[in-house]
Amino acid sequence: MGSVTQPPRPRKGLLRSALASTPVLPILPPTMPIQIFNSLTRQKEAFAPLDPAGKRVLFYACGPTVYGKFHIGNARTFVMTDVVRRWLVKRGHDVQFAMNITDVDDKIIRKANDEGVASEVIAARYTDYFLSMLERLGNMGGVIHPKATQHIPQMVTMIADLVARGHAYATPDGSVWFEVGSFRDYGKLSRMPLDEMKQGERVDAAQQQLKRSPLDFALWKGAKEGEPSWPSPWGNGRPGWHIECSSMSMEALHSQTIDIHSGGSDLRFPHHENEIAQSECATGKRFARYWMHMGMLDIEGMKMSKSLGNVKNIDEVMEFIDPLILRYFFMSAKYGDKIDYTESTIHQCQSAMERMITADQSARRILGTDSPTDWNSDEELQATWNEFAAGMDDDFNSPRALAAIAKSVTLLNTRIANENDKASIARATALLAELREALGISGELVRKNTGGLGDEEIESLIAQRTQAKKDRNFTLADQIRKDLLGKGVQLEDSRTGTIWKRV
């Protein structure tokens, strides 16, 4: 497995998402290096890519096992990973980003057996679901999505290398296990003493007897009746979960060492710990230079779990909460911190989003066909940008970035009060648009979470009310106002027109 240094290129077996192309973000190089909290070293470090030019970044994130819908905790991990990627792009990096799709797994097989269909049917259904949810959440496109079933030969080769190097062994049932004791640095990510580590996967009693140590984990699982399988030197079978990410990351990004590896904090052990062990034993090289782990999500102060009945699937939540509001909520805490989903917090995030959208709408009504303009020459706006950038450069501190956006909204509203200074309003509008784009919260609220009305319907009713007032039909105009208020939409009349917001 030789190291490959050329830029990544499309390869057979890589599923690219159907999402929109990566937006072109204006590049503003940092004055100081981006700081990243490295879960491996447990400290904040200046980010320096492997690329000698400092431009190309190899970024791999653990994706879903596609056996069902995913919940808002998973969604938060995917969104915050996108926030990190966006900022790296904004700062001028050529980010090669891969997120795997695990399409062969015990859970997929069980789901398929329950429904009486092939495993591929389940995997295809929930792969489509996963990609559609990312699009609705506003994640950037241009992602490399390697699928496990399309990389079996590469996984078999990697396992064979581990066996040859004395780090893995086969058992009579056709399985192959990684021998944890052969890697002296095992535990360096989670920092758990070996005698306190719990077994990372469930195996039956017979398999437990075959393993040399309870900590040894499966690289290859011998075939069982009714399960998908592939040929290997040890007999038909399928890969273990951990080997999939090691192999797919190297294949997708064409390098045995990657810059950034991210995932939920629940994957730190055993998944990421096992990835490190098998990858570094197979190649003799450092696997990932920076490890980033996303914090968990609670519901009203309680851990989300099936036993408590409080699991909220992302598509169901987006039926009554706009995706932009959810995205804003996910960013209201730092990516590595735990976040609590509460009704009051969601309401606060909705108010913040509506305030910035209302300010933008007001400004654009004043500007008319005039386009927003460059803001860099405006010292007040430059200072706000600097606050935003300082927050994002400091380990992608999204709460600090959102605070800077709130300040930019205040500045814009102050300038709107002086309607005659269109140039000043245009500059502030341009800054707000750029800050929103940098975090992926551009656009309008479209979720019909207040009375079933979308933005276009509201605008149409306002136009009808404006015409009614011109026709001196004040009864109809008042009725439209009351109807909108009853559906959670408040109108404010000004000299430049009618402004509305959800309340």
Q: Each residue of 415-436: pLDDT tens digit?
A: 999 878 899 999 999 999 999 9
**Successive 10-residue mean pLDDT values, the chain, 503 residues:** 36 41 49 90 96 95 97 97 97 97 95 95 97 96 96 98 98 96 94 71 71 92 93 97 96 98 96 97 97 96 89 92 96 97 93 94 87 85 95 98 98 90 93 96 69 74 89 86 81 76 68
Among the three residues 242, 273, 303, which one is the final residue of a domain in this structure?
303
Is the residue at 445 inside a domain? no
Is the residue at 24 inside a domain? yes
Same domain, 82 and 121: yes
Same domain, 268 and 345: no
Same domain, 474 and 424: no
The domain that holds 411 is classified in CATH as: 1.20.120.640
Same domain, 297 and 351: no
Q: What is the DSSP secondary structure assignment for residue 292, as one 8-state letter?
A: E
pLDDT digits (tens, 9 = 90+) for 49-97: 999 999 999 999 999 999 999 999 999 999 999 999 999 999 999 999 9
Same domain, 93 and 191: yes
Same domain, 35 and 79: yes
Range of the domain at 112: 14-303
**Long-range contacts, 307-315 (Cβ 8 Å, 24+):** 311/71, 312/71, 312/72, 312/341, 313/69, 313/70, 313/71, 313/72, 314/69, 314/70, 314/71, 314/72, 314/74, 314/75, 314/133, 314/137, 315/69, 315/129, 315/133
Same domain, 358 and 247: no
* Tokens coding 113: 């057996």
Is the residue at 315 inside a domain? no
pTM given for the model: 0.84
Is the residue at 449 inside a domain? no
CA-CA distances (angstroms) from residue 195 to 91, 190, 204, 275? Answer: 44, 13, 21, 20
Is the residue at 67 inside a domain? yes
Is the residue at 70 inside a domain? yes
Same domain, 295 and 399: no
The domain that holds 81 is classified in CATH as: 3.40.50.620
Same domain, 495 and 372: no
Is the residue at 102 inside a domain? yes
Same domain, 207 and 260: yes
Q: Which residues pair with 145 in a beta bridge?
A: 15
Single out the residue of 409, 361, 401, 372 nearest to residue 385, CA to CA.
Answer: 401
Is the residue at 4 inside a domain? no
Among the three residues 243, 268, 303, which one is the final residue of a domain in this structure?
303
Q: Work out how many domains the chain is built from and give that number.
A: 3
pLDDT score at 444: 83
Same domain, 18 and 158: yes
Same domain, 179 and 38: yes
Among the three residues 259, 278, 303, which one is the final residue of a domain in this structure?
303
Three-state helix/strand/coil letters over 13-43:
CEEECCCCCCCCCCCCCCCCCCEEEECCCCE
pLDDT digits (tens, 9 = 90+) for 294-338: 999 999 999 998 888 889 999 999 988 999 999 999 999 999 999
